[in-house]
Amino acid sequence: MKKNIAVIGCGQWGKNLVRNFSELGVLSSICDPNTKIVNKYTNQFKVKNFLFSEIINDPNVKGVALAVPAELHASMAIEAMNKGKHVLVEKPLAMNISEAELMISTAKKNGVKLMVGHLLKYHPIFNTIQRIIEAGDIGELNNIYSNRLSFGRVRTNEDVIWSFAPHDISMILSLAKQDPEFITTKSSSILQKNLADIATIHLEFKSGLKSYISVSWLNPYKEVKLVISGKSAMLVFDDTKPWNEKLALYPYELLRSKDLLNLKKSDTQYLKVSEEEPLKNECQHFIDVVEKDIKPLTDGAEGLRVIKVLSAASQSQIKNEKVKI
């Protein structure tokens, strides 16, 4: 395995990329202005710290993973792609539609691959959910909702929608296999003026499927839960549970008696899924993108679809009305 991947930004999330690319045997170098972080990781992973300009001009570096503030995603990705580097960008891909479109056109112009870190698409449990739905085992989908709630780190350059919701939007679009027609967002800015701390995003699809996403970094407990409702069963992916309880199947029946409706739930079934680290799967996929010239599962086009939903959600909260995509 060639050491040809560099990680730019080694902080809160970047440190996980550094570890995984090192464990996979491809980490060539890192880039971070924080001396304390740099000293720790250059010693721990036996790599050198370089300036960003040095990394993108290094012919031995074939791929660059960006874990930098979201407002720098577009400019740094474009600069790297113009130097012929394949790029993995953490979510969100960009901060607006025009930036995302420019990133995609830059990748095409330079013959390189652009990949966005929609991590849950590489989670074995989400992959199992997709297979179950495609097999028709829970019936036609009628509702999907996702809660991503926490207490702690608060962003100052992006609101909770742009920080938390990309993963959920990515999953919902994949399951729905269509883009929403309408989006309605309600939010509250409590800690910072004009930056939402709590939000609920409603998505309406042409097929009749309804979906909503709740996000908050001002919640007293952590909740990361995806609930998919079909006509015969529901799936619950609770990422805060132990591995063997993360995915539950709830079969049910709709019983009619005169003018009454009743839902009868069968015994809960916890589904077995092989335990794997989603980020390691994502990093390995980027390595394959770089070395085998394959199309990324989460490519620029997918990143743009998510950005369009995020932009519509932001527009809805500003106008306080339903927005058509």
Name the residue ranges covered by the structural domains of the chain: 5-118+279-298, 121-277+308-324
Check if the beta carbon of residue 205 is closer than 8 Å to that of residue 162.
Answer: no
pLDDT at 290 over 80: yes
Its pTM stands at 0.93
CATH class of the region 5-118+279-298: alpha beta
- The angle at the Cα of 58, spanning 56 to 61, to the nearest 5 degrees, equals 80
- The angle at the Cα of 43, spanning 116 to 279, to the nearest 5 degrees, equals 25
Q: With CA atoms as reference, report the closest residue to 106 among 142, 82, 90, 134.
A: 82
Q: What is the pLDDT of residue 108?
A: 98
Distances (CA, A) of 63 to 102, 172, 251, 285: 19, 29, 45, 12
Beta-carbon contacts of residue 145 (< 8 Å; ≥ 6 apart): 211, 212, 213, 214, 226, 227
Query: What is the percentage of the chain residues whose pLDDT exceeds 70?
Result: 99
Q: With CA atoms as reference, report the closest residue to 289 among 122, 79, 87.
A: 87
pLDDT, one tens digit per residue, over 295-322 is: 999 999 999 999 999 999 999 999 999 9
CATH architecture under which domain 121-277+308-324 falls: 2-Layer Sandwich (3.30)
Q: What is the pLDDT of residue 55?
A: 98
Q: What mean pLDDT do residues 22-27 have?
A: 97
Mean residue pLDDT across the chain: 95
Kindly state the DSSP code that residue 71 receives in the 8-state scheme.
G
